[in-house]
């Protein structure tokens, strides 16, 4: 029986850099040219299987990028194990915004948080404004993971999540399976911040076959 781990991941970044598209590609392997901007926070899950058959389940909070909702972001990155901070390689201002998110995370999030800086819209590299060198240098200085992706073509998407999975401390005991069974409500009245997404994902873990 392979080990299974569960981690909370949050996506941050300026509006319209492609956070939701990135998640959609990662979770459903789909792309949608005209996505509406996220006004809220979406919760999704996806599992990554590593070479040693270890599975890492991400509980992903995709948050709104608009400035107006910035004050709510801490509620979603609180207790996150990892964060993907996204910028648009065709918009240099989006990197500045990403840097400010990173500063905020370093200041306020869990000190052990794994942060990945992700340059999206690689398919539009002809209009590139942020060079790979610049971003990479910044990432190295800050001790972040870095990668470029295209949610549209899928390039680099699974790589970045897999690298995060590898970097996470896989020494913690595997998360308990079958924590909350669907149809058996009220199993949890308080809030267990380590497993807060259990109830939100329907019948993920349970098996009655």
Binding site for other proteins (CB under 8 A): 28, 39-43, 45-47, 49, 61, 64, 68-69, 71-72, 75-76, 78, 180, 182-191, 193, 196-197, 199-204, 206-209
Distance CA 149, CA 132 (A): 12
CB of 102 to other proteins, least distance (A): 19
Residue with smaller CB distance to other proteins, 169 or 182: 182
CB of 143 to other proteins, least distance (A): 25
3-class secondary structure, 102: helix
Report the Cα 153 to chain-centroid distance in Å. Answer: 18
Residue with smaller CB distance to other proteins, 163 or 201: 201
CB of 205 to other proteins, least distance (A): 9
Length of the chain: 209
CB of 111 to other proteins, least distance (A): 19
Best CA proximity match to 10, nearest among 46, 43, 54, 50: 43
Structure tokens at 110: 């869990």
Residue with smaller CB distance to other proteins, 103 or 188: 188
Distance CA 107, CA 84 (A): 16
């Amino acid at each position: 029986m392979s080990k299974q781990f569960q981690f909370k991941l949050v996506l941050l970044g300026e509006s319209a850099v492609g956070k939701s598209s990135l998640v959609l590609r990662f979770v459903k392997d789909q792309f949608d040219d005209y996505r509406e901007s996220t006004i809220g926070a979406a919760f999704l899950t996806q599992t990554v299987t590593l070479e040693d058959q270890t599975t890492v389940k991400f509980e992903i909070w995709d948050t709104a990028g608009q400035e107006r909702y910035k004050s709510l972001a801490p509620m979603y990155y609180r207790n996150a194990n990892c964060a993907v901070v996204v910028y648009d390689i065709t918009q240099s201002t989006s990197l500045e915004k990403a840097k400010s998110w990173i500063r905020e995370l370093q200041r306020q999030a869990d000190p052990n948080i794994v942060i990945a800086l992700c340059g999206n819209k690689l398919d539009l590299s002809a209009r590139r404004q942020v060079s790979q060198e610049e971003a990479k240098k910044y990432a190295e200085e800050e001790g972040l993971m870095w990668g470029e992706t295209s949610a549209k073509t899928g390039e680099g998407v699974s790589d970045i999540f897999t690298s995060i999975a590898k970097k996470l401390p896989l020494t913690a005991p595997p998360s308990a399976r079958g924590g909350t069974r669907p149809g058996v409500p009220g199993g949890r009245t308080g809030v267990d911040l380590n497993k807060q997404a259990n109830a939100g994902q329907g019948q993920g873990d349970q098996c009655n076959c």
